Amino acid sequence: MGTPLKGFGLGLRPEHYQDFIHDKQPVDWLEILSDNYMVPGGKPLYFLDKIRSNYPMVMHGVAMNLGSTDPLDKVYLQSLKDLEKRVEPALISDHLCWTGVNGRRMHDLLPLPYTEEAVKHVSERILQAQDFLGRRLIIENLSTYIEAQAPLTEWAFVNAVLSEADCDILLDINNIYVSSRNHSFNPLDYLNAIPVERVKQIHLAGHSDMGNYCIDTHDAPVSDAVWTLYEQATQRFGIVPTMIERDGDIPALDVLVNELNMARKIAKRHEDNMNSNDPQGGRHESHVTF
C-alpha cells in the first residue's frame, strides 16, 4: 500500500503524459483509470512506470460491477491486484453501481435501487472484493437522471453501505450537485448525512447544464455552483485529498492546474478560518447550511 494521500491531484490522461515526464508539475498526486492499465504491456504501462517514479498515485476503476447479480469477476480482480503491486496506490476506488449482467458489459455506470435488500447485496460484494484485494475500497457516489420510488434516500443508502461493508467513500461533489438538480433535493442534506471519517477523497468535475436538468459530462470546467458546494464540503469534512476530473475536451495541463489551484485556495481559506477559531487546528465534524 502506498503512502497516505495528501494534497491536490489530477486524473492522468494520455494528452499530458509528456508534461509529467519532462517537467515536475505542481500536482501532488495523480489518479489513473485502472482499467486502462490492466494490460500485459505496451505504451500505457511504459508511461505509467516513468510517471509513477515521480508522483504518488491512486487507482480508480469503472468495471468492478459491484452491484450486479453476476458473480464477482475474479480474473478482473486479479488483474487489478497485479496492477496494485506495480503502482502501490494510496487508494483503490470504484463506483457504487452495476455495469453489466448475464456476462454482458453495459459500458455505463448504472444506479442501484435504494432498498435494504440492495444495501445487503452490494455490501456483501464489497466485502468479498476487499477480502480478495486485501485492502479497504473507497466507493464513489453516482450522478443519476431518473428518480426511482424507493424507501431510502440516496444518502441514506450510501451511508448504510459504508457502514455494512466497512468501506470508505470517494465523494464526488459534482455528482451530488447534478443529482440534486435532477431530483430537486438539497445537496447539503447529502453532505450532512455522510460520516466525516469515511471521506478519503473528493472528485470535482464539470457538467452540462441543460436548464431543467444536468448531465455529468466531465468535459467542462468546474461550475461556480459546484465550487460553492465544495467550499461547503470543506466546512464539514475538512481538507480532504481533492482532484479535478476531466475526460472530454481535455485542455492543456496548465489550464487544469489553474483550476486545481482554485481548490487549493478554497482549502487554504478553510484552514485559515479553522486556525483563527481553534489554535489547535484539526478536523471537526459539523453540519453546513445555506
pLDDT for position 273 = 87
Q: Is 286 part of a structural domain of the chain?
A: no
| Residue 2 included in any domain | no
According to DSSP, residue 198 is labeled G
Q: Quick check: 28 and 9 in contact, CB under 8 A?
A: yes
For residue 9, the model assigns a pLDDT of 98
| Per-residue pLDDT at 290 | 43
On whether residue 147 sits in a domain, the answer given is yes
Here the cell at position 125 is 460484494
Residue 92 lies in a domain: yes
> How many structural domains comprise the chain?
1
Whole-number pLDDT of residue 101: 87
| Mean pLDDT, each 10-residue run in order, the chain (290 residues) | 84 97 97 96 95 97 96 97 97 95 82 96 98 98 88 97 98 98 97 98 97 95 98 96 96 98 95 78 54
The answer to the question of residue 98 being in a domain is: yes
Q: What is residue 283's predicted lDDT score, i.e. its pLDDT?
A: 56
Q: What is the pLDDT of residue 284?
A: 53
Residues 6 or more apart in contact with residue 78 via CB below 8 angstroms: none
Please give the grid coordinates belonging to residue 107: 459500458
Is 223 in contact with 262 (CB distance < 8 Å)?
Answer: no
104 found inside a domain = yes
pLDDT number for residue 214: 95
DSSP 53-78: TTS-EEEE-S---TT-SSPP-HHHHH
What is the predicted pLDDT for the residue at 288? 58
Give residue 85's domain range. Answer: 8-277
The CATH number of whichever domain residue 148 belongs to comes to: 3.20.20.150
CA separation, residue 125 to residues 29, 88, 122, 290 (Å) = 29, 23, 5, 37
DSSP per position, 114-181: -SHHHHHHHHHHHHHHHHHHTS--EEEPPP-SS----SS-HHHHHHHHHHHHT-EEEEEHHHHHHHHH
Q: Is residue 122 part of a domain?
A: yes
Query: Does residue 290 fall inside a structural domain?
Result: no
pTM value?
Answer: 0.93
